[in-house]
Structure 1
Amino acid sequence: MTMVRLSLAAASAVVCLAVAVADGASARPASGPNTPVASDGRIVPVTEVSRSFMPPFRGQAAALGSADRLAEFSARPESARELRRLMALQAVTGPRGQESIIGADQRVRINPTTTYPARATVLITFSAGRCTGWLINANTVATAGHCVGPGSGGQFYPVSSYLIFAGRNGSASPYGSCTAKRLYSVTGWLNQGKDDYDYGAIKLNCNVGNTTGWYGYFWQSASLLNLPTIINGYPGDKPLTQWQSTDRVRVNQTRRTFYQNDTIGGMSGAPVWYNRSGAGCSGVCAMAIHAYGVYNGPPFSTNNHGTRITQQVFNNLTAVGRNAP
């Protein structure tokens, strides 16, 4: 596989989703847990991103009436057999703890899913089961690393097995489905299985985001403690329907974000977001990628958590969103 290293020279800034890398000169080969890897070995062209950079694909609520409906099946009805197959898929969970309901179940169903950002939240189906993801531009989805590869073995799941549904709502698929062109993650996840590097991206064979819009995302060096946390996803106990939970950041770490949003397996890869007002990313902006439930001791035993969008994560995901073919 070919690997690349990204860098970003900024303090607190807004960040966009791609595949993570370590600090260093742009477009320079590198190794280490932040090295981005593509499922076909391609190099992702990397450019420096300054503090003042305003990504052209930051959060955007595209017009529902857009004619650019390039999903593979458009909005055609599925056969009963196709629906049964989707319902039967197992919800994928992180390897270190079942995603958890903490106290009373506070999840609320999103219905219909044709509102923003619900329609920019995607159901991911593939050979290993079902996950959640979220559009970051017209044809790129951010998700958990364990939704693109099992971790520790350096392997990806078969690209040809993926079907991605924006705004799926039970048996209804208002924006059809897209196949995957290429998968991305970092060596910290793919080769080492580190939970704080558990993120990835999927390049689609369609531009459905031009119809649905997409999420913004950001990074900041300052603490995230007590910021609101909203998670939209597709839980395994409520197949193919989208649910939302709310809380706040309970524990702040350099590469992890902890919260008590209620989640269940299948919500791996969901955005951890809130309505933000600030330079670079305002409105619907994600700060982390949900991946894990409770396990071990504190803070893991009392919170769910996800991979924080750091400057490095921002750089990588931006490179995939902007530069990957």
Structure 2
Amino acid sequence: MLTKLKGVEFKLNSKDKSKIINKFEEKSIDNDYLKEESLRPVPSYINKEKGKVMKSEEFSRLNTFKHPGNALWETVCGTDERSQVLNTELYPWGAVCQLIITSDDGRKSLSTGWLNGKGTVITAGHCVYSPTLKKWSKSITVIPGRNGNGKPYGEITSENFSSVKGWIENQDHNYNYGAIILPDQIGDITGYFGFKVYQDSDLIGVKANVSGYPGEKYHTQWFMYDNITTVDERRIYHNIDTTAGQSGSPLWIDTSNNQYYVIGIQSSGGCPNSTIRINEYVYNNLLTWRRRGNKYTI
């Protein structure tokens, strides 16, 4: 096809066209709370308060985040083979966070996120921006390494969020990811995941891991691993069991030198389940958001 740009006409093949569209849709967008002038280098604090213990009847009134439109729930593929993480204070489990999301209309929902830096939590786009309300979440409480009533690292509430143009403006599930910028650098205590771009050939058939907070498991973290089945430009597919509440969970691989690199962000189900793949565009946004979290404190 021929494309004009400021009076210049040139030809694009389909691959180049896809790259330009991806770059446009991948533009980072922040909610109104996060302004550059609000990034103040003051001493961070650690919220060590245990806070209110949620009773079982209160838990039952919380929703797991619903997928809009024709997107599918996270899915158990055959027999549920997930295992409970018993010591969530250890790395990397402490870097996996339960999220309690308060929507703009006041409703509360549960989901999962993961620390990719000192003060940044990555999650699904629909956790920070509701595609049904078409509004940003009002606030999100982040609980790293939650284990039932135990909160080994306390809890932190944020009103600072980011996502991308493809999700905010178009609700395109290929761009269903975002970030929570924390007012505290809790990642210095819990540790945080690395993230990396891999070629197709380095992913297919490789063992990958998912850990998160299923809505039906009462505030406990559950883990499973399996081999990656296939990949495309935007997604990684696997048969790791997940259920509602695990949106935003990390899909990571272990390297031979015991490093943990996230390669995808859990976003939808269907057997195989699928994650948003960390390609070069996603990587650049995750890096930008991590840098913001490394600076932002109150």
Q: Which residue of 2 aligns with 1:116?
A: 91
The alpha carbon displacement at 1:76 in A equals 2.4
For residues 261 and 154 of structure 2, the distance between their equivalents in structure 1, rounded to whole angstroms, comes to 25
For residues 44 and 59 of structure 2, the distance between their equivalents in structure 1, rounded to whole angstroms, comes to 22
> Which structure shows the bigger proportion of residues in helix conformation?
2
Give the letter for the 1:157 counterpart: S
- 9, 26, 40: which one pairs with 1:34? 26
Q: 1:36 to 1:154 in 2, by over 3 A?
A: farther
SS in structure 1 opposite 2:50? Answer: coil
> Which structure shows the bigger proportion of residues in strand conformation?
2
| Aligned pairs (5 A) from 1:10-89 | 32-40=24-32, 70-72=45-47, 74-79=48-53, 85-86=58-59, 88-89=61-62
SS in structure 1 opposite 2:136? Answer: coil
Q: Which residue of 2 aligns with 1:207?
A: 185
Greater displacement, 304-313 / 180-189: 180-189
Q: 1:85 to 1:152 in 2, by over 3 A?
A: closer
Q: Which residue of 2 aligns with 1:306?
A: 275
Give the letter for the 1:88 counterpart: R
| 1:241-262 residue CA offsets vs partner (Å, 9 max, x unmatched) | 0000111111111010100000
Q: Which residue of 2 aligns with 1:49?
A: none
Q: Give the superposed CA RMSD.
A: 2.6
SS in structure 2 opposite 1:287? Answer: strand
| 1:105-145 residue CA offsets vs partner (Å, 9 max, x unmatched) | 10000012111111110001012401100001111001110
Q: Would you say 1:248 and 2:202 are equivalent positions?
A: no
SS in structure 1 opposite 2:287? Answer: helix
For residues 226 and 31 of structure 1, the distance between their equivalents in structure 2, rounded to whole angstroms, comes to 28
Whose relative contact order is higher, 1 or 2, with alpha carbons under 8 Å and at least 6 apart?
1
For residues 33 and 151 of structure 1, the distance between their equivalents in structure 2, rounded to whole angstroms, comes to 16
For residues 216 and 133 of structure 2, the distance between their equivalents in structure 1, rounded to whole angstroms, comes to 29
Q: Which residue of 1 aligns with 2:11?
A: none
The 8 Å contact of residues 228 and 246 in structure 1, kept in 2 or not, is answered as yes
SS in structure 1 opposite 2:86? Answer: coil
| 1:217-273 residue CA offsets vs partner (Å, 9 max, x unmatched) | 101244321121100100011021000011111111101010000000000000001
Q: Which residue of 2 aligns with 1:92?
A: 65
For residues 111 and 176 of structure 2, the distance between their equivalents in structure 1, rounded to whole angstroms, comes to 13
Q: 1:233 to 1:222 in 2, by over 3 A?
A: same
Structure 1 runs, 4 residues or longer, greater than 4 Å off? 41-45
Q: 1:229 to 1:94 in 2, by over 3 A?
A: farther
The alpha carbon displacement at 1:71 in A equals 3.5
The 8 Å contact of residues 218 and 287 in structure 1, kept in 2 or not, is answered as yes
The 8 Å contact of residues 181 and 205 in structure 1, kept in 2 or not, is answered as no
| 1:37-89 residue CA offsets vs partner (Å, 9 max, x unmatched) | 001175779xxxxxxxxxxxxxxxxxxxxxx98343x14252456x7545531
Q: Would you say 1:137 and 2:137 are equivalent positions?
A: no
For residues 289 and 192 of structure 2, the distance between their equivalents in structure 1, rounded to whole angstroms, comes to 15
